[in-house]
Each structure stands twice: as structure tokens, then as C-alpha cells.
Chains A and B, each alone.
Chain A
């Protein structure tokens, strides 16, 4: 390994363990360290600096596509009938990893900074920073892992840190409920992920992604099992990235402190699902990708429709997150890999910004989250307001923003996919959600910042947040501008980002993959060498080569698609102004007219009620009835056996007393009775004896008369 590569690997280990060091310090020596919060924040900024160095080196200077460090964790040897059980683990850095390192450490350090203001004077301030550190460690672990096992392990650790942070104010039942719900719903997805891993390991005997791809390329795992493995691994993403039907936990997770929502439930952890799909991308079959595309589209649509009816500022943003995650997942599903990952990165910046901005508002409003009680804050909080506007323009996909670049690519990809495969529903949903997104975002801005203040008391006290809170907003607002990703504000294709993030070629059998962006160049000879890689040499990922047909369609739809999405976004913004700013249309009347629909959306399509009535009630009923079965039937049999034995022993005791002993006593009595009877005969009178002797002789003669 060249020295630079080795340096980068070691630096990335430092990035990984710095937050953990902070966690350990704070948990064990928290009370003895002055300003623990600054220690943890400083560590994160150090990690950010190192990450930026790694990314710049990796993306711009290093010629090697991927740096890998693998070690043998365990070797249990082979046994009869089963090949050897060895587990190799390790970390790897490619462009995607390097970019993710910066995204995670950047958002995390900004959130640390923001929390200095937001969480000041909190009951468990030190604990809060410790958990933030632990989360950052786990998240970086997912990013750096080069194998499924470590990913799964860090995946669970991320889940537990999310649980701990959602339940930060655990005195509130709603907070501890939300934490529990998040963890359990995620576990449902994780079980799928786990089964997927088991399929992969059982077939290919490795967790290392490169070897997994090599094994699949060599044909050791194919057919329905490969599709199943892909969908099951995606289940993990469905949980973490809050995709339909497991999206229900994310809005509840807003019970956590708002900076946590920004870090975990908007920018990083929820994006981990998308990251996971991106990592296993080469092994996904067309079948799996279609499922992924539809799940993403359904999620994007469902969540956007819910977001438009909510009144809690954080709930709107939460559903917006779900919807945008749906976009990313959909992008991966339709084969627009780079666009999906691009949106992950741009979304991390502007959504973290939106949450921190809402945190700034909530802080100013003394922990009021209901938008119906806000309004007019524009003048009081100019920095928050203007950054909020930039974030909203970005998420709505207005030109000159980062969101425009990434979202437009997703929409183009979905449209091309629709044209090439005939699945038109996906692009239709994709464009519909553009309208919804713009509408609910500007509804939020207008209700919060425009118009007249509705709660004058709170308004009087509201003021712009302190610098530690506004600086992160300014940084994130800056990062929501196109220039950081591409110098061309209308086409990012030649920007550094999309040149760095290339779609990996699929390794699934050609019959099982999308025809239009196939590697094609993976010949039989290549497959053979890929097979050899199972034995040792690393399989090298190749960039996908789209077909000429795909290129052609993309060219054709580029400008019409762009025009359509822009029109829809502007229409959405206009609608928001029309209803909420200019009040040309009464929102209340509109609501009354479509009341059933409104109620359905307002109640989140009744998913919570549905799950409550089926899965949860069913499990609880099953558990109660099994507990009853256990204590009454099974234990009843045991106790019954005991009672039966006791009854039997009592019966045999009676039998012993009355029958056995009775016989003994009877024979004694009978002997006595006989004795008493016979005694009378023996009275000492000779004449009696003679009479008896005579009688005896007669009897004898009678008996023996025949002889």
C-alpha cells in the first residue's frame, strides 16, 4: 500500500475513533472535565478537518479508485459438510465514502455547535453530548465498513444512539414511546437486512462487499435468491430511511431535541439506508431495483401529501424528510445512482439547515412548535428567515440551488426509466411530488415568518438566536448553493461531484439486470477472474456504461423534463402564496370541501392506527394468550399430573387401609371366629366326643361308599 493510501486509512480510523473517545471521556469522567461540551465539539471539528483532507486527497489527487484495509477477524476452520467459516472485516475508502465522511462530520460538528446554544442548561447536557459522540462514531462506522457484517453492527449501534437521543427527555411518556417505537420499527427492517446477509454469507462465505460482488459475478448466487437477497438487504434501508411501510417512526422521532432531529433524523442516519443501497448497488437485480423504485415513489408521495396538512413545524419537516428519502431511494431504483447519492448529499445540507432553522424558531418561541401560533417572525429573525428561504428554494428545486441540480437529475432518470421500461407511474409521482414539496415548504415559511404574529406574547419575546446557532445556519445555507457541486448551475454532469461519483457496474447476470445501464463489458473471461477473486484477489468494481439508447433518451428528455419540474415547483410556491399569503382562497373552506381526504392526510393515512390495531394489538393479544396458555394449560398439565399423583396416592392409601389391610384383619378375625365356633365342641364330655366320632364315621362311609 502506497504511503498516501496508508496515511488516508489511518486518518479515517482517527476520524472514526475521535467521537468515540469523546463519548468515553464524557460517560466516565464527565463531571470532572470542565466544559465537556467544548471537548466533544472540538473533537468533532478535528474529525471534520481530517475528513476534508481525506476527501480532497482521495477525490482530486489519488489515482486509486479504492483504498481497502482488510483483516481476518475470525477463523473457525472447516467442518464436515461445511466449508470454512472465516470472517474478514475491514474498512475501505472510495469517493463515496470520502464524501460521506465529510457530510457526516460536517453536519455533526455544526449540530454540536448549534447545541451549545439550543441545549444550554439542559438536565442531561453532558449525557446529550456523549450520545451525540456515540452516534457520530456509529454513523462513521457504517460509512467506512467494507463489509456487510460491520455495516450491520454499526447499523444497530446507530439505532441505539437514535433510541437514546429520541428519548433524551424520557420523563415525557411521548418521548420514551417514540424512542421505543423507532427502535422496534427499525428492528423489523433489520431482521430483513439480517436474513439478506445470511443468504449472502451462506452462498458466498464472505461478508466483504468486493468478494460478494466477485462471487455474484462468477455466478455463485443468482436467480430468485439473488433478488430476494437484494430486497431483504433493502429492508434494512426501509427501516432506517423510513420508507413505506416502515416510515411511521420518523415523525414520532421528532420528540427528540431539534438538533438531534437535524443530525440523525434528517441528514445522516436516515440517509444511511440510501447509503446502504448505494453500497450494495452492483448486486441488485432488476426485480429488486423495481421494488426499490416503487417503494421510494410511494414513500415520496405519501409523505408529501401528509406534510401539506401538518401544523407542527417539525412534523412538516419530518414528512418532508421521508418524502425526500423516498426520492433518493426511487432514484437508486430507477438506475439513477449518481443522482440519488447526489441528492443525499445536497439534502443533508439543506434539510439539516431546515431543522436547525426550525430549532432556532422553536428556541425563540420558547419551545412552541405549532405553526398556527407563529407568524411574522421574518423581521425578528432575519438570519433564520433568509437561510430558511434558501433551504426551501433548494428543496423545491429552484435553479441556482444545490437541490435543483440533484433533484433534476433524479427526475430525468425516473423519466428515462419510465420511457424505457413502461413504468410511467414512477415519473408521474416524481413530478407530482415536486409540486407538493414546493407547496408545503412555502406554506411553512408563510405560516411561520410572514403575516401578522398570532401569539403576541411569544412574539414580543422572540429574538434572533445567538451566534453559535446562526453560524451553522449560514454555513449550511452557503452549502445549498450550486457552486459547491458544479460550476454550471444548470447541468452538474461536468461538476466535480458527478465526475467523482460514478455508477458502479452491475454484477448480476445480464438476464436479471436492467438492459439500459449495463456494464456489458463483463465478458466470460472477466467472470472467471471475478470468480478467482473469491479465493483471494480483490474484485474491482467497474463504472457502469449506459447503452446508447439510454443516452439518447436522456438527451431528449433533459430540457422538457427541466421545464416541467420548474413549472411545477413555481406553481407549488404560487399556490402557497395564493392560499396563505394573499388569502385568495380560504384554507379552512378548502379543507371543509375535501374533509374526508383532509382527515385521511392529516391523520397520516391512518398508518399508526392500522399498525396499532393489527401488528401491535395482535402481538400483545398473542403474548397475553400464550402467557395464559403457559400458566393454565402447560402448567396446568404439570400441576394436574401432581394432583393426579396425589389423588392416586390417596386412593392407594385407602386401598391399602381398607382392602389390603382389611384382608389381613379379616383373616385374623375369621380365624378367631372359627376358633370361637370350634371351641364350643371341645367341652370335655365323653358322650359328645362319641357322638361326633360316630357322625364322622358315617360321613366317611358315605363319602367312600363307591370304593
Chain B
């Protein structure tokens, strides 16, 4: 195998480096907090380096999605192989990793946000050992979701990420942390159960020939699940557009929708964000939300293309609701962090709108928006964190005039806010533009109504900017120091990405293009073929 280091593939490295770091952190004696921080930082920097290596060696022309030869950096090994377990039959689960143009941006995003998150965690002063150990475990879970190609493995990583998140919010969070943590945990677990059920249904419906023995066996291989030929005709999910395929699609959709979050499954998000420490908010909004849409694109779309084609319109309408509803709710908030949380809901609606269009511009816009929103919203949460660390309040109405008190901070904030508004020259403009263009070609009226969100976003963002940064500075904030070096180290790389991708979006669009076009073609051709065959 190519792309190895010490005989271990790049993807394994990038996924399990944090676990190594976690073990190191656990071995460091209590009280030596600095070594823990530096270990975590070193691990995430290494992870970023590996992500860079993957980026440089990535071949943009290859496709992926359902085509094993289109995947890159593949690692495949038998993981669990039990010849016969009662009625379950031959259990064979692979350690199957690989990436295509859909996972590449997510890997880079995860590495970048994890690195930024460590810097934002620098002033955690409550049981650092537990914090950094859990943080790194979370990192592995997130990365694993984006590289796994075996559905069982995907599910394992999906669940791995859940537990550290629960503790990170529940122990290091704000005053209502326990409520928020339990809400997050139960809500996500509820979604996980649905995903698990669908996974098992798929497992028992799909059979492939065991390459070793030549016998037919069930599999968790996602790629095999995408091939309609592999479905047993009489199985639960066999056939085309059947009742049970709809049920499975909807169950899977709810599982992922909770993560995105899509209206009406979104109310865990504002609570979790408000209570979570800054770094965890950054991870939550920067990476975790993308898992939902990633799951839709990686699993729901290609495994259920027949249902997907029928559901495109409702999905777009949900995207519209997210955009407008999220924006209106954001406008009513006075808590800075809660406003940003609702703005995430609105911006993730754009992703949904774009990908449901099922054309190359919408798909490119949607996936690009996933990346861009990750970067921009991470900046926004860091910005709130900076101010909260100093003032210990997030009530926007109690601020004002910070522009004069903290000029550098205000400059960086302006870039992030304008990116969220969708200003040209900054990254979200391009992704929103493409999402809307795609949606307009597919469902004109949904796109037109969604564009109300463009005005509303400008409204709540500029209003927030005015309340916090413009006007007269209240006397009590006269002593606030400007942004410090550590905070700059976290914010400046993100700002560079925001501007760079705004001016040269093809850096990111180019490697995604072949894969996303392949996905669109695949959904259309297989879905249409299946519907026609019926």
C-alpha cells in the first residue's frame, strides 16, 4: 500500500493519533496541566500535518461514493469475523477506511477545528486531564465518522463521539450544563437508535459473495449497500420504492436530521451551545453538525436513491424552514451565543437547500457551505468566547462601543460577521450563491422564498454588531483588554481560510467536483432506473 507511515495508513494515523495523545495525557501525572495541553496541541498539529499530506496526495479526478476504485487512501482489513452466530449467521465486519471528494473537505475541517479548539481550551482550569483526554477521544470519533466506509464502523465512531461530548458539556459547561448535556445525549441517542435499526435492516437485506469462500453473506459494507443488485429480492429493504424503504429512509433521515439539526429536531442545539465551554461550542458547530449532512450524503442519498428522488422537494422545504425560521429566532435572541447557535440552524438550512437540488452547482454549494459554515461559525463562537472570558456575560444589550476598546478584535469580528452575512470575497458568499443557484434550477419557488433569509441574516447580524461593538462604551467595560496572542493564534488561521476561499473557491471546489457530480449522476441514474424498472 502507498501512503503509509511506519506501515500504517494515513487515514488510520489521522483517526487514531488523538487516541495516542489521549493515552499520553492519561499517563501524565495530575497537576501537570501544561504538558497535557501541549500534548493535545502537538497531536492536533500532527493531525493537521497528516491532513495536509492527504490533501496534497489527493487525486481530484477520482470519483468515489459507490465506486471502490474511486476511493483513495483505502485501508481494508477484517475486523470481526465470526463464522456463525446463531440466527445472525456469518458475521463479517471490515475495518474499511477510504476517502473521496466528499470526505476530504470534512477531514481538513475536522483537523483544523480540532487544532483551533485546543487553543481555545487553553484556559480550562478544572480537571484538565479528564478534559483533554475526552477532547482527544472526541476528535477520534469525529475523524472516524468521515473516513469509515463500513457502516458498522461508521456507527461505532458515531457513538464514540457522543460520550465525550456528554461529559465535556456536563462537567465543564455553564450553569445549566447538566440539563443541556442530558438533552444533547438523549436526543442524539434517540437518533442513533434509528440509525442502528436501519443499519441492521440494511445488513439483513444485502448479500454479497464472500470473496474467501464464495458463499453469500450479509455485509455492513456501505458501497455494497448502494448497489441495487445486492439486495435480496424478498428482504425487508429489497425492491424499489417500497413501504419499508420509505420507512427506513425517514428513520435514517431523522437520525441525521437531529445532528444537523433540521427543524423541528433542533432545540438541543441552542441549549448545548449556551452551556458548552467555548472550545466545545466550536467543535459542536464547526464539525458535529456537518456529520448530519455528511450522513445524508454518504448514506441516505446513495443507498436510497429512489426515495431520495421523491423526497427532494420536501427536503428543500425543510431547508427553507431552517433558513428562515433559524434567522427569525436568531433575531429575537439577546444572548450572543444563542444568537450564533440559531444562525447555525439558518446556515445549515442552506446546505440542505443546496444538496436537495441534486445538481452539480447545488451539491457543490451545499458541501462547500458545510466547510465554510464550519470555519465561520467556529470564528463566531471563538469571538463570543473572547468577550465572555473578559466580561463574564453574553447579554448583547449590556455591551456597546467595544470597537474603540478592542480594535483588533473588532477587525477580526467584522470579517467573521461579514462572512456570515455572505459578503462577496469571503467564503460563504460562494457556497450560498451556488446553493441558491442549484435550488433555483430545481425548485424555483423554494429558492425564491428562501432568499428572504439573505435579508434576515443581514438584519440580525448587523443588529448584533451594532449592539455589541458600536455606540458608546459603558463605563464598566472600560478596562477590557484587547484580544491576546493565544486568541489570535486560534482566530487568524480561520480568518485566512475565510478570505482565501472567498477569493479562490476553486481550491476547495476542484477536489470535490468529480465526487459530487458522480453522486448526483448516481442518484439520478440509479433512482430513475429503479423507478422505471418498477
A262 to B411, CA, bound (A): 26
Binding stretch for chain A, among B130-138, B201-209, B423-431: B423-431
Q: Is B423's CB under 8 angstroms from A191's CB?
A: no
Select the stretch in B28-36, B85-93, B240-248, B453-461 that faces chain A: B453-461
Is there a chain A Cβ closer than 8 Å to B251's Cβ? no
- A620 to B330 Cα, complex, angstroms: 11
| Beta-carbon contacts under 8 Å, A73-123 to B | 73-74, 76-82, 85
When chains A and B are docked, how far (Å) is the Cα of A78 from the Cα of B360?
Answer: 7
Picked from A73, A177, A620, A635, the residue with its CB within 8 Å of the CB of B331 is A620
Residues of B within 8 A of A202 (CB): 437, 440-441, 444
Asked if B517 contacts A77 (CB within 8 A), the reply is yes
Chain A minimum-CB-distance residue to B520? A79
Residues from chain A with a CB closer than 8 A to the CB of B463 are: 180
Main secondary structure, interface of B, reads helix
New contact pairs (6) apart from A184-B462, A201-B437, A626-B329, CB-CB < 8 Å: A74-B509, A76-B517, A176-B470, A187-B455, A202-B441, A631-B267
Interface band, chain A = 35 or more
B276: min CB distance to chain A, Å: 17
Expressed in whole angstroms, the Cα–Cα distance for A154 and B458 within the complex equals 17
> Are A173 and B332 neighbours in the complex by a CB distance under 8 Å?
no
- Contact A184 B454, beta carbon cutoff 8 Å: no
Whole-angstrom CA separation of A275 from B423 in the bound complex: 21
CB distance from A104 to the nearest CB of B (A): 19
Closest to B466 in A: A176
Contacting pair A190 B333 (CB below 8 A):
no
Residues of chain B contacted by A85 (CB below 8 angstroms): 359-361, 364
Which B residues are CB-close (under 8 A) to A614? none
Name the A residues within 8 Å of B361 (CB-CB): 76, 85
Give the complex CA separation of A623 and B453 in angstroms. Answer: 13
Q: Is B409 an interface residue when CB atoms closer than 8 A count as contact?
A: no
Does A167 sit at the interface, judged by CB under 8 A? yes
A540 at the interface (CB under 8 A from B): no
Measured in the bound complex, the distance between the Cα atoms of B495 and A27 in whole Å is: 15
Q: Is the CB of A626 within 8 A of B328?
A: yes
B34-59 CB contacts (< 8 Å) to partner A:
none
Question: B509, A76: Cβ atoms under 8 Å?
Answer: yes
A198 CA to B404 CA, complexed, in Å: 40
- Closest CB in chain A relative to B3 CB, distance in Å: 27
- Chain B residues whose CB sits within 8 angstroms of the CB of A188 once the complex forms: 455
Alpha-carbon distance A152/B447, docked complex (angstroms): 18
Asked whether B359 lies within 8 Å of A82 as measured between CB atoms, the reply is yes
Q: Does A630 contact B (CB under 8 A)?
A: yes
B446 at the interface (CB under 8 A from A): no
B521 and A79 contacting across the interface, CB-CB below 8 Å: yes
Complex alpha-carbon distance, A27 and B410, angstroms: 13
**Would A79 and B455 be within 8 Å (CB), given that A170-B470, A180-B466, A198-B436 are in contact?**
no
Q: Are A171 and B471 in contact (CB under 8 A)?
A: yes
Nearest B residue to A76, CB-CB: B360
Residues of B within 8 A of A176 (CB): 466, 470-471
Closest 10 CB pairs of A and B: A153-B424, A627-B332, A80-B524, A170-B470, A623-B331, A176-B470, A635-B267, A198-B440, A623-B328, A82-B359
The interface residues of chain A lying within 8 Å CB-to-CB of B525 are 80
Distance to closest chain A CB from B187 (angstroms): 7
Report the Cα distance A464→B431, complex, angstroms: 53
Query: Is residue B264 within 8 Å, beta carbon to beta carbon, of the partner chain?
Result: yes
Q: Kindly state the separation between the CA atoms of A160 and B110 in the bound complex, as whole angstroms.
A: 31
Q: Are B458 and A634 in contact (CB under 8 A)?
A: no
- Taken together as a complex, chains A and B put the C-alpha atoms of A184 and B465 apart, in Å, by 13
Q: Which residues of A contact B329 (CB under 8 A)?
A: 623, 626-627, 630
A75's nearest neighbour on chain B, judged by CB, is B513
A73 CB → nearest B CB, Å: 8
How many Å lie between the Cα of A198 and that of B365 in the bound state?
A: 14
Residues of B354-392 whose CB lies within 8 A of A: 359-361, 364
Q: Which residue of B lies closest to A232 (CB)?
A: B448
> Is the pair B513, A77 in contact by a Cβ cutoff of 8 Å?
yes
Bound form: Cα–Cα A187–B331 in Å: 16
Q: Is the beta-carbon distance between B267 and A634 smaller than 8 angstroms?
A: yes
Q: How far is the CB of A427 from chain B (nearest CB, A)?
A: 35
Q: Which residues of B contact A27 (CB under 8 A)?
A: 411
Chain B residues numbered 412-457 whose CB sits less than 8 Å from any CB in chain A: 418, 423-425, 429, 433, 436-437, 440-441, 444, 447-448, 451-452, 454-456
Smallest Cβ-Cβ distance to B522: which chain A residue = A80
Contact with A76, one of B455, B471, B513, B521 (Cβ below 8 angstroms): B513
Query: Which residue of A81, A157, A619, A638 is within 8 Å of B359 (Cβ)?
Result: A81
Using a CB-CB cutoff of 8 Å, which residues 132-179 of chain A contact chain B?
149, 152-154, 156-157, 160, 163, 167, 170-171, 173, 176-177, 179
Q: Within 8 Å of chain A (Cβ to Cβ): is B186? A: yes
Contact A191:B470 (CB < 8 A) given known A76-B360, A85-B361, A153-B424: no
- With a cutoff of 8 Å between Cβ atoms, the chain B residues found around residue A153 in the complex are 424-425, 429
Q: Which residue of A lies closest to B506 (CB)?
A: A74
> A76 CA to B444 CA in the complex, in Å?
21
A194 at the interface (CB under 8 A from B): yes
Contact check, A184 vs B458: say whether CB atoms are below 8 A apart.
yes
A residues less than 8 Å from B187 (CB atoms): 638
CA separation between A191 and B449, bound complex, in Å?
10
For the complex, give the distance between the alpha carbons of A256 and B357 in Å: 43
A187 lies within 8 A of B458 (CB): yes
Nearest CB in chain A: distance from B268 CB, A: 8
Of residues 51 to 104 in B, which have CB atoms within 8 Å of A's CB atoms?
none
Which residues of chain A are within 8 angstroms of B513 by Cβ–Cβ distance? 76-77
- 17 residue pairs from A and B, CB less than 8 Å apart: A73-B506, A74-B506, A80-B520, A85-B359, A171-B404, A180-B463, A183-B458, A187-B454, A194-B436, A195-B440, A198-B440, A619-B328, A619-B331, A619-B456, A627-B333, A637-B264, A638-B268
A79 to B442, CA, bound (A): 13
- By a CB distance below 8 angstroms, the chain A residues around B418 are 160
Which of A79, A156, A177, A183 is packed against the most chain B CB atoms within 10 Å?
A79
- Cβ of B401 within 8 Å of any chain A Cβ, yes or no, is yes
Report the nearest A residue to B187, measured CB to CB: A638
Contact mask A634-665 → B, CB, 8 Å, 1/0?
11011000100000000000000000000000
